[in-house]
């Protein structure tokens, strides 16, 4: 059986491959992508074999795949994409129901660009894919940014401000905590919409200390105040500790602007959705 292709005519149509064993899921995601990405061409594949054939048939801008497929798993498919020399660097998103455990275990194949938590639903997945395929829409929000390098901070701040974000830069965890306490005293809880912090900082406290204080001292949940941690440490145990301490996600250094913006904007949208949800 050949891959199902949903075409929406456009001169610059992004081509997104959706690989899932469920025909219902494929159709639903294709419908949502058509709404979120005008002009999108969705290549819907029921298994890895169809996906492999589709890769040979034309250029793909992004692959979204279920972790469990009828003939292979998402990790195997990601490896196939990387071995396809013409398209070795396209984003590969693996949709998993145990993404948080995989983050904790650092079970993240180098072939995978990102994991997506299946429990967030198809609409959130469509929004997530959009962030990788096209530049994110302008978003609003206050970012508390903790970085002690002025040079790095200037470059990263420019990335964020281009997206319409308001950046409050501080150079230490101690200063970040002061701002959060002042906001709480004034009844502005939590006072910012997201925290972006480096791990290793000058001063007595680290990015991990900030995570622990935010989650424990202030009691802010991951949904209430998302936290992204930037790290150049490849040690799996150290990365696991950051996730366990309360990081929503990690961003590898040196920073890739597209990945940082996609992850940050996605966390902002999820937090906004949770705040607006009834009950």
Q: What are 41-63's pLDDT values in tens digits? A: 999 999 999 999 998 888 888 99
| CB-based contacts of 137, cutoff 8 Å, min separation 6 | none
Domain ranges in the chain are: 4-133, 142-276
Joined tokens for residue 171: 């150079």
Secondary structure (DSSP) of 154-203: HHHHHHHHTTT-EEEEESSHHHHHHHHHHHHHTT-SSSSSEEEEESS-SS
Residue ranges of E strands in 23-126: 41-45, 62-66, 92-96, 114-117
Q: How far apart are CA 86 and CA 58, in angstroms?
A: 10
CA distances from 193 to 109, 148, 220 (A): 30, 21, 11
142-276 and 4-133 share a CATH fold: yes
Residues composing the chain: 279
CATH class of residue range 4-133: alpha beta
CA distances from 259 to 12, 13, 76, 117 (A): 22, 21, 22, 17
Q: How far apart are CA 221 and CA 61, in angstroms?
A: 34
Burial-class residue 226 by CB neighbours within 10 Å (0-12, 13-18, 19+). buried
CATH of domain 142-276: 3.40.50.2300
Q: How far apart are CA 15 and CA 43, in angstroms?
A: 7
Nearest alpha-carbon partner for 201 in 159, 221, 231, 226: 231
**Confidence (pLDDT) at 105:** 53
pTM recorded for the entire structure: 0.64
Query: How many CB atoms neighbour CB 156 within 10 A?
Result: 22
For every one of its 279 residues, what pLDDT tens digit does the chain have, with 9 covering 90 and above? 556 655 443 335 789 999 999 999 999 999 999 988 888 999 999 999 999 999 888 888 899 999 889 999 888 998 888 777 566 668 888 888 766 665 555 455 667 777 788 888 888 888 888 877 765 556 689 999 999 999 999 999 999 998 889 999 999 999 999 999 999 999 998 999 999 999 999 878 999 999 999 999 999 988 889 999 999 888 878 887 888 888 988 888 888 888 888 888 878 877 776 676 555
Whether the ω angle into residue 222 lies within 30 degrees of 0, i.e. cis, is: no
**Confidence (pLDDT) at 140:** 81
Joined tokens for residue 151: 């040079």
């Amino acid at each position: 059986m050949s891959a199902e292709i949903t075409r929406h005519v456009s001169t610059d149509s992004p081509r997104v491959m959706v690989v899932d064993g469920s025909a219902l899921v494929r159709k639903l995601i294709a419908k949502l992508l058509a709404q979120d990405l005008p002009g999108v061409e969705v290549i819907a594949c029921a298994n890895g074999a169809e996906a492999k054939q589709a890769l040979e048939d034309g250029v793909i801008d992004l692959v979204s795949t279920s972790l469990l497929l009828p003939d292979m798993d998402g990790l195997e498919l990601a490896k196939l994409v990387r071995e396809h020399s013409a398209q070795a660097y396209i984003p590969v998103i693996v949709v998993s129901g145990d993404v948080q455990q995989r983050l904790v275990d650092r079970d993240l194949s180098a072939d995978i660009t990102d994991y997506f938590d299946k429990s967030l639903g198809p609409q959130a997945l469509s929004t997530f894919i959009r962030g990788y395929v096209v530049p994110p829409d302008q978003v609003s929000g206050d970012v508390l940014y903790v970085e002690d390098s002025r040079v790095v901070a200037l470059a990263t701040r420019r990335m964020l401000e281009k997206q319409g974000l308001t950046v409050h830069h501080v150079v230490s965890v101690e200063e970040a905590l002061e701002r959060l306490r002042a906001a709480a005293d004034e009844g502005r809880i939590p006072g910012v919409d997201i925290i972006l912090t480096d791990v290793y900082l000058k001063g007595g406290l680290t990015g991990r200390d900030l995570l622990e204080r935010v989650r424990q001292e202030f009691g802010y949940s991951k949904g209430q105040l998302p936290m992204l941690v930037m790290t150049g440490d490849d040690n799996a145990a150290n990365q696991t500790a950051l996730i366990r301490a309360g990081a929503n996600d990690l961003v590898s250094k040196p920073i890739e602007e597209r990945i940082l913006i996609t992850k940050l904007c996605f966390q902002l949208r999820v937090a906004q959705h949770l705040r607006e949800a009834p009950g």
